[in-house]
A = this chain, B = another copy of it.
Amino acid sequence: MSELADTFRALGDATRVRMLDALSHGERCVCDLAAALGLTESAVSHQLRLLRNMRLVRARRAGRLVFYALDDHHIMSLFQQARRHVQEPAMAHGGMVGQASPASGGGR
Contact = CB atoms under 8 A, between A and B. Distances in A.
Contact of A3 (B7, B63, B86, B93): B86
A83 interface: yes
Given A61-B97, A62-B101, A63-B101, A82 B7 contact: yes
B8 A82 contact: yes
A82 to B, nearest CB: 5
Nearest to A13: B5
A14 interface: yes
Interface of A: 1-14, 16-18, 21, 52, 55-56, 58-63, 66, 71-72, 74-75, 77-79, 81-86, 88, 90, 93, 96-104
